[in-house]
Structure 1
Amino acid sequence: MKTEEKMIELDGSQGEGGGQILRTGLALAMATGQALAIDSIRARRPKPGLMRQHLACVNAAAEVSGARVEGAELGSQSLRFVPGPVRAGDYRFAVASAGSCMLVLQTVLPALLLADAPSRIALAGGTHNPMAPPFHFLERAYAPLVRRLGADLQLELHRCGFYPAGGGAVDATVVPAAGGLKPFDLNARGALQDAHAECLAPGLPRHVAARELDALGSAMGWSGEQLRSGGTRQNEGPGNALMATLAYEHVTEVFTSFGEKALSAEQVTQRLVKEVRAFQKSEAAVGPHLADQLALLLALATWQSGQAAAFSCSELTEHTRTNCAVIERFLPVRFAIEAGARAATVQVAPV
């Protein structure tokens, strides 16, 4: 175990100033064995400090690594986290109410990918949350990239959890890569192989899903067989997630628009169409949300293998730039980011 004198100190107000600084810091503290000190946690958010889902991430990270922790309290804006060795095993992590359990998974996953044995994780909480990657994004877009590294991530959705009730249930199986993670380049998406939309609207009138899918089909020129509804039970709601999945030769992207009381079905659709069209107009391999996650995965693989990697993304968000800056604090890697007219390029190399 590392000592406090070797702590990596992070300013939680830097860059986008949100919860991802905390989650990436925890993930890399566990993966590298370096202690973490973070202040001004979520300083740029309307309610700064640790909320329930962030505290769940801290507690999960502490359990996986046997960490010593100070400041793990609701509302806390400072945290000290001193990890021990990462332990593969069977875990159960729950987030109260509708806090995202998908974010808890993404916090502990990098360390468990480097463990000496597979792990199984039972997760409870929100599965389809605004401002967090929904289950279907992780299953279809993120998990295949984990497998390209030589590891494995299998996900099973037992019950959807929407805001504000939560109550979702997911099982995850994490298998580390034999011989270490192997980096790869992902600079082109390849040919489009499938495109479809689906609407999850449990606990809502049936016409909500029908209107959203009809509007999406008209806007995108998609046929009826590309428009799907269902897959949830009425008691899993009320909730509404309209999703578009674009499966290309080298990557799959998933875009989601969430319904709100103040939005019409057509407005929910318009949000999704805008996001999908922006990605389609670019020449990048991945969208802005997947770029955040891919940067961390490739950095870990570069660190383990000593080999560089690169990918292209449709938009360079402050989220991505902040995540890269946090990664560089923990790992002996450097990112080179270049914005282009139709795509941005992100390269990570060992130093």
Structure 2
Amino acid sequence: MIHIDASQGEGGGQVLRTSLALSMVTGQPVLLEKIRARRPRPGLMRQHLTCVTAAQALSGAQVEGATPGSQTLRFTPGPVRGGEHHFSVGTAGSVMLVLQSVWPALMLAESPVRLTLQGGTHNPMAPSFHFVERAYAPLLRRLGAPAELRLRRCGFYPGGGGEIEVDLHPVGPEGLQPFDLTERGALLDQQAECLVPGLKRSIAERELEVLRGQLGWTFDHSTIPVTRQNEGPGNALLATLRHEHVTEVFCAIGEKSRSAENVAGDVARQVKRYASSAGALGQYLADQWVLPLALAVWRSGRAARYTCTDVSLHAATNFSVIGQFLPVRIDTRPLPKGQGVQVEVKPPGDNAP
């Protein structure tokens, strides 16, 4: 059994999610202790329990400690199951984080999987649906793990009520194929859009106007998509940069007492930070990409590299947890002139510098 100190590094829910994913993939039982120990409300929250419930249902796992506030969890997985499954967070907690807890194992399942997930689709401190659908899923398709995602209904804090549907297909006979991603390639398209269900359209217009002024972009009315009023109230401002080799999505969530100018300024800063670096991936995509890439390197025995704007403490913690499950080595080195970081994932036995 693998023992994980869940308070290590960044010490958040990502340690739990990565541990669940890799326990399911490798079949190794895991014991997590000190879960979210340094958080104001330590232990398992509703969203984390949904991750555990989903992982348990999909792998027939034996679980101990899956109760609200628990800081210890024992998870012993069985074989991963395909078929149709439905999970609800029951609050506005992020369904995208639940999806990423089980996705690595399900892409290696022997039969197709359809997931229906209900909860929050656009949350602070979590990837938005549009980020996962436009930036993350295409990389997995290139890896050999195709998936289709559909947004059935937006869900914002505090009401939740969002719904997504995801079809995950088995990896083909050639298995996962790791690849290098060290350059973005030419910029093909850039766009912004603003979701404001249940709110005044003028909020979206103000946010887009600020973004246009700070980035020099031009928009038309299609950048305020039609949404149903009962999908809100909620606000998400999105900027999408589509390059030849990678797409990045930057998002800020509007909240009560947060001005439209503040929301737009947040997205503008994220875009400018990315533009000032040579890294192919932004900070958040770099963090999330390493787990499926490590699986591909482990299964294929071939190393792979990617570049990113920087490696956060969150990402470094993820690297550490992955290394406790998989016999891979994750090395980082700065790019010239402070233009970002290169991350290289090496298979067992590859000790080359």
TM-score by length of 2: 0.96
Runs of 4+ aligned residues of structure 1 deviating over 3 Å after TM superposition are none
Residue 199 of structure 1 contacts residue 240 of structure 1 at CA under 8 Å; is this kept in 2? yes
Residue 16 of structure 1 contacts residue 44 of structure 1 at CA under 8 Å; is this kept in 2? no
Query: Residue 277 of structure 1 aligns with which residue?
Result: 272
- The answer to whether residue 220 in structure 2 is matched with residue 240 in structure 1 is no
Residue 217 of structure 1 contacts residue 223 of structure 1 at CA under 8 Å; is this kept in 2? yes
Residue 316 of structure 1 contacts residue 339 of structure 1 at CA under 8 Å; is this kept in 2? no
Query: Residue 282 of structure 2 aligns with which residue?
Result: 287
Mapped to 2, the partners of 1:108 and 1:30 lie a distance apart of 8
- The answer to whether residue 67 in structure 2 is matched with residue 73 in structure 1 is yes
Question: Which amino acid in structure 2 is aligned with residue 10 of structure 1?
Answer: I
Runs of 5+ unmatched residues, structure 2 = 349-353
Query: Residue 253 of structure 2 aligns with which residue?
Result: 258
**Bigger Cα displacement from structure 2, 154-163 vs 260-269:** 260-269
Q: CA deviation at 1:150?
A: 1.1
Mapped to 2, the partners of 1:346 and 1:88 lie a distance apart of 32
Mapped to 2, the partners of 1:345 and 1:190 lie a distance apart of 16
Query: Residue 208 of structure 2 aligns with which residue?
Result: 213
Query: Residue 150 of structure 1 aligns with which residue?
Result: 144
From 22, 25, 29, the equivalent of 1:35 is: 29
Mapped to 1, the partners of 2:277 and 2:53 lie a distance apart of 39
Query: Residue 110 of structure 1 aligns with which residue?
Result: 104
From 181, 190, 195, the equivalent of 1:186 is: 181
From 327, 330, 341, the equivalent of 2:325 is: 330
Residue 287 of structure 2 contacts residue 311 of structure 2 at CA under 8 Å; is this kept in 1? no
Count of matched residue pairs: 345
Query: Residue 97 of structure 1 aligns with which residue?
Result: 91
Deviations along 1:48-91, one digit per CA (max 9) or x if unpaired, are 11000000000000001100000000111100000011111111
Query: Residue 3 of structure 1 aligns with which residue?
Result: none
Q: CA deviation at 1:231?
A: 3.4
Query: Residue 349 of structure 1 aligns with which residue?
Result: 346
TM-score by length of 1: 0.97
Q: CA deviation at 1:260?
A: 1.6
Deviations along 1:254-294, one digit per CA (max 9) or x if unpaired, are 00011122211111111111111000100010001101111
Mapped to 1, the partners of 2:237 and 2:34 lie a distance apart of 34
Runs of 5+ unmatched residues, structure 1 = 1-6
Matches within 5 A, 1:304-343: 304-340=299-335, 341-343=338-340
Q: CA deviation at 1:45?
A: 1.9
**Bigger Cα displacement from structure 2, 81-90 vs 26-35:** 81-90
Question: Using a 3 Å threshold, how does the CA distance of structure 1 residues 269 and 349 change in structure 2: closer, same or farther?
Answer: same
| Aligned residues with identical type, % of pairs | 58
Q: CA deviation at 1:227?
A: 7.0
Give the match's secondary structure for 2:223.
strand
Give the match's secondary structure for 2:194.
strand
- The answer to whether residue 120 in structure 2 is matched with residue 126 in structure 1 is yes
Mapped to 1, the partners of 2:334 and 2:46 lie a distance apart of 36
